[in-house]
A and B are shown apart, each in its own frame.
Chain A
Amino acid sequence: MPSKRLLIWTAVLLLMALSWALPASGALNPYVIQILMYVGINMILTLSLNLINGYMGEFSVGHAGFMAIGAYVAAILSVWCVPKALGPWLFPFILMGGGLAAAAAGLVVAIPSFRTRGDYLAIVTLAFNMIVKSILENLNVVGGPRGFKDISLLTNFPWVVFWVIATFYLLRNLVYSNFGRGITAIREDEVAANLTSVDTRRLKVYAFCIGAFFAGVAGGLFAHLLQFINPRSFSILKSTDMLVMVYLGGMGSLTGSLLGATIFTLVLEFLRPLGLWRWVIGPLLLVFLMIFRPEGIMGFKDPRWLQPEEISNQGSTVSGRQ
Chain B
Amino acid sequence: MAPLLNIVELSHNFGGLCAVTDFFLTVQEGESVGLIGPNGAGKTTIFNLITGVFRVFEGRIFFQGQDITEWPSHRITAAGIARTFQNIRLFKDLNALDNVRLGAFARHRYSLWNAFFRLPAFRGEEGTWVRRAYELLERFNIAHYAQTPARHLPYGEQRRLEIARALISGPRLLLLDEPAAGMNEGEVEGLIHLIREIKQEFSLTILLIEHQMQVVSSLCQRVTVLDFGLTIAAGPLREIQQNPRVMEAYLGKEAPLDR
Contacts and interface: CB of A to CB of B under 8 A. Distances in A.
B257 interface: no
Interface in B54-80: 72-75, 77-78
Interface in B93-151: 93-95, 97-98, 101-108, 110, 112, 115-118, 122-123, 125-127, 129-131, 133-134, 147-149
Interface string A168-185: 001001100111111011
A322 B149 contact: yes
B85 interface: yes
A184 B115 contact: no
A197 B80 CA distance: 10
A246 B73 CA distance: 32
A206 B52 CA distance: 23
Contact of B102 (A193, A308, A315, A321): A193
B169 interface: yes
B92 interface: yes
Interface in A180-229: 180-182, 184-185, 188-189, 191-201, 206
Contacts of A177: 115, 122, 126
A192 B53 CA distance: 10
Given A194-B74, A198-B74, A174 B98 contact: no
B259 interface: no
B224 interface: no
A173 B105 contact: no
A3 interface: no
Contacts of B169: 196-197
Contact of A173 (B90, B95, B117): B117
A179 B93 contact: no
Given A179-B115, A194-B73, A322-B149, A188 B94 contact: yes
B89 A197 contact: no
Main secondary structure of the interface of A (DSSP, over half): helix
Contacts of A184: 91, 94, 98
A320 to B, nearest CB: 9
A313 B130 contact: yes
Nearest to B169: A197
Interface residues of B toward A: which range? 35 or more
A300 interface: yes
A174 B97 contact: no
B77 A308 contact: no
Contact of B147 (A170, A198, A322): A322
Contacts of B91: 184-185, 188-189, 192-193
A194 B118 CA distance: 25
A312 interface: yes
B205 interface: no
23 contacts: A173-B116, A178-B101, A178-B105, A179-B115, A180-B115, A181-B94, A181-B102, A185-B91, A188-B93, A189-B89, A189-B92, A194-B74, A195-B73, A196-B82, A196-B169, A197-B103, A198-B105, A199-B105, A199-B106, A200-B74, A311-B127, A321-B97, A322-B148
Interface of B: 51-53, 72-75, 77-78, 82-83, 85, 89-95, 97-98, 101-108, 110, 112, 115-118, 122-123, 125-127, 129-131, 133-134, 147-149, 165-166, 169
Pick the 9 closest A-B CB pairs, nearest first: A197-B106, A177-B115, A194-B73, A188-B91, A178-B108, A313-B134, A197-B77, A192-B89, A311-B126
